[in-house]
């Protein structure tokens, strides 16, 4: 959808260069209005013997609707495997010969290779994005591969056609149709396989606004999957048609719940600000402050993020500390966007897209602040409140540091937007950047996003009020509202030793433990196969653009492939 024609033609040529004997290419473009955009691609495809171009307008269902149309009406009936390639990818000619052999295993239903990217070197912003993207395919996917619980990621992967048709194709209600389809396939008892070698490289979102829109889609789709399939993921679900094992259920359940981390951080910020508002209004709240999980949970989320960036990412990639810190800042810069998507995804069934302000061409601080105006406001309020509490001696330095850190989380957004202002792009990439905002469907998103923001703030405000009211039942007032009470005769907790003690005693909290999830055996590997492949390149209106889908005929026998 609305892909620059020269870039899409370059992708088609790279797919044509794939070394495989029986393959067809279907290029589907849906809902692109301007003939000057899709016309040159259609003209090129008409001159190619193994390429079929399909343009439909209007067409429902975004990317999944386009993929279903290509599968039902435009794919060769002999094709056994369906490959999906995004419209900006350049593909290694050895791709199919290297991976098709795994499908000799009749239980293998889909295979995924890493999503990789190009044209980022030398730019601080794009390098931070690249390092942040790599974490999932370098750490999470290999771990989930051992438990047969990987996801199909929507590009640079293959699916067995008969299995895909058996589960009903791609569901058009979900804006992350790729991951949702892989869950339904695994539920049927089939296997997925992750091959860690990169066979193609695409283009990352080139503007910070487009990055936020992409992450909003991913999170909203994760919430849709969680809402639709949570019953299948519960350990006590004994539905005979549900073949998910314990480890698969845990991985997919946690994969959905992990998006809520940023909603928790937003709620924690609102709790802090609600107490500060009470102080500004002149009241002393009999509040049990930042006790137990109230303080430990946000700190744990912060610590885990630092551990992922400073240790795990560096260990897997070999990058330096500065790059790891920038990748961490890139994660943090999307915190508000993810929290907003969670709030909407938990209450809305229909897929929506994030409205982002169209960025100007002038590289300055004001443009960056405008691109992240909500996050800038949150950071300013948190920093100002923390400084006020510290200057007026209403809190100790640790609580002020919590305000400071929460502000840093949201301040990463204008910082990333400012870095993005200094990105220098080639002429082709500059044309793509200018068209990115068109592919986000902003005109349809404004009412939905406004509603989602209201719902998100309402939910987090209710949580804040519940914490305040639930903790204020004691008639004893603390000397300082942010002080952590403790028993004078017993040991002081780690958090309590950092904060100013109050005069009121408090019973120690009871620790809890979490069960360790079981693991399943790794997926079987195979040595050879004979398949027909169909490749679909989709330039679609869905949440992510698609590229040609290769179709492979059954009579072609690729050489034996040994897993690496």
State pLDDT tens for residues 255-297: 999 999 999 889 888 888 887 777 777 655 444 455 555 667 6
Interaxial angle between packed helices 321-332 and 293-307, expressed in degrees from 0 to 180 and rounded to the nearest 10: 130
| Cβ pair 508, 490 in contact under 8 A | yes
Structural domain count of the chain: 2
Exposure class string for 70-109: b at 16+ Cβ within 10 A, else e: bbeebbbeebbbbbbbbbbbbbbeebbbbbbbbbbbeebb
| Cβ pair 434, 210 in contact under 8 A | no
Tokens of 527: 């040595």
| Cβ pair 160, 109 in contact under 8 A | yes
Domain that holds residue 537: 5-204+531-552
This prediction has a pTM of 0.78
Identify the DSSP state of 310: I
For range 336-344, the mean pLDDT: 94
- 514 falls within a domain: no
Per-residue pLDDT for 558 more than 80?
Answer: no
Looking at the fold, whether 269 and 396 belong to one and the same domain comes out as yes
Query: Distances from the Cα of 324 to the Cαs of 132, 136, 152, 382, in angstroms?
Result: 8, 14, 27, 25
Model confidence pLDDT, tens digit, residues 438-480: 555 433 444 444 444 554 555 455 444 444 444 444 434 444 4
Quickly state the pLDDT bin for 348 (edges 50, 70, 90).
confident
Model confidence pLDDT, tens digit, residues 1-40: 888 899 999 999 999 999 999 999 999 999 899 999 999 9
Looking at the fold, whether 25 and 142 belong to one and the same domain comes out as yes
- 127 falls within a domain: yes
CA distance 221 to 226: 9
Cα of first residue to Cα of last residue in the chain, in angstroms, is 36
- 10 falls within a domain: yes
| Cβ pair 57, 85 in contact under 8 A | no
For range 314-328, the mean pLDDT: 92
Looking at the fold, whether 447 and 542 belong to one and the same domain comes out as no
Select the more confidently predicted residue: 389 or 201: 201
Looking at the fold, whether 317 and 447 belong to one and the same domain comes out as yes
Looking at the fold, whether 186 and 55 belong to one and the same domain comes out as yes
Query: What is the CATH number for 26?
Result: 3.90.550.10
Looking at the fold, whether 19 and 142 belong to one and the same domain comes out as yes
Burial of 482 (0-12, 13-18, 19+ CB in 10 A): buried
Per-residue pLDDT for 114 more than 70?
Answer: yes
Quickly state the pLDDT bin for 221 (edges 50, 70, 90).
very high
Residue-averaged pLDDT of the chain = 79
Tokens of 365: 């601080």
Question: If phi over 0 gives left and psi between -120 and 50 gives alpha, with beta otherwise, what is residue 190?
Answer: beta
Exposure class string for 409-437: b at 16+ Cβ within 10 A, else e: bbbbbbbbbbbbbebebeeebeebbebbb
């Amino acid at each position: 959808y609305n892909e620059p024609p020269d870039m899409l033609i370059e992708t088609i040529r790279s797919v044509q260069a794939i070394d495989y004997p029986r393959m067809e290419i279907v290029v589907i473009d849906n809902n692109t209005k301007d003939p000057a955009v899709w016309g040159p691609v259609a003209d090129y495809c008409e001159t190619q013997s193994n390429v079929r171009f399909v343009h439909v307008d209007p067409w429902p269902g975004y990317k999944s609707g386009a993929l279903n149309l290509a599968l039902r009406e435009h794919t060769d009936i002999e094709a056994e495997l369906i490959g999906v390639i995004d419209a900006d990818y350049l593909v290694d000619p050895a791709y199919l010969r290297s991976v098709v052999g795994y499908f000799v295993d009749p239980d293998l239903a889909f295979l995924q290779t890493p999503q990789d990217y190009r044209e980022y070197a030398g730019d601080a912003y794009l390098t931070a994005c690249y390092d942040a993207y790599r974490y999932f395919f370098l750490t999470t996917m290999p771990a989930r591969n051992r438990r047969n619980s990987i996801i199909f990621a929507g590009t640079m992967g293959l699916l067995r056609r008969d299995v895909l048709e058996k589960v009903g194709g791609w569901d058009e209600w979900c804006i992350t149709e790729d991951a949702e389809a892989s869950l339904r396939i695994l539920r049927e008892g089939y296997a997925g396989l992750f091959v860690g070698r990169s066979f193609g490289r695409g283009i990352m979102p080139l503007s910070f606004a487009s990055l936020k829109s992409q992450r909003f889609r991913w999170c909203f789709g994760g919430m849709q999957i969680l809402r639709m399939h949570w019953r299948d993921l519960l350990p006590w679900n004994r539905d005979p048609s549900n073949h998910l094992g314990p480890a698969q259920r845990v991985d997919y359940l946690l994969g959905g719940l992990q998006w809520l981390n940023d909603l928790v951080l937003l709620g924690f910020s609102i709790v802090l600000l609600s107490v500060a508002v009470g102080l500004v209004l002149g009241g002393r709240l009999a509040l049990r402050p930042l006790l137990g999980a109230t303080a430990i949970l946000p700190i744990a989320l912060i610590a885990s993020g630092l551990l992922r960036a400073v240790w795990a990412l560096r260990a897997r990639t070999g990058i330096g500390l500065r790059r790891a810190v920038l990748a961490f800042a890139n994660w943090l810069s999307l915190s508000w966007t993810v929290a907003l998507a969670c709030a909407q995804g938990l209450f809305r069934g229909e897929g929506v897209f994030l409205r982002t302000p169209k960025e100007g061409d002038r590289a300055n601080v004001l443009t960056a602040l405008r691109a992240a105006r909500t996050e800038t406001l949150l950071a300013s309020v948190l920093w100002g409140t923390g400084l006020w509490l510290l200057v007026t001696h209403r809190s100790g330095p640790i609580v002020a540091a919590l305000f400071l850190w929460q502000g840093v989380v949201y301040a990463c957004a204008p910082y990333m937007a400012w870095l993005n202002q200094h990105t220098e792009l080639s002429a082709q990439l500059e044309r793509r950047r200018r068209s990115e905002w068109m592919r986000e469907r902003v005109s349809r998103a404004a009412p939905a996003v406004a509603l989602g923001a209201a719902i998100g703030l309402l939910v987090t405000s209710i949580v804040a009020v519940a914490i305040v009211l639930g903790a204020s039942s004691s008639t004893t007032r603390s000397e300082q509202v942010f002080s952590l009470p403790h028993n004078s005769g017993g040991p002081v907790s780690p958090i309590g030793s950092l904060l100013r003690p109050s005069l009121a005693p408090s019973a120690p909290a009871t620790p809890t433990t979490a069960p360790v999830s079981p693991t399943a055996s790794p997926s079987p590997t195979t040595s050879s196969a004979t398949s027909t492949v169909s490749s679909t390149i989709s330039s679609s209106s869905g949440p992510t653009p698609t590229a040609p889908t290769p179709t492979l005929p059954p009579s072609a026998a690729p050489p034996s492939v040994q897993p690496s």
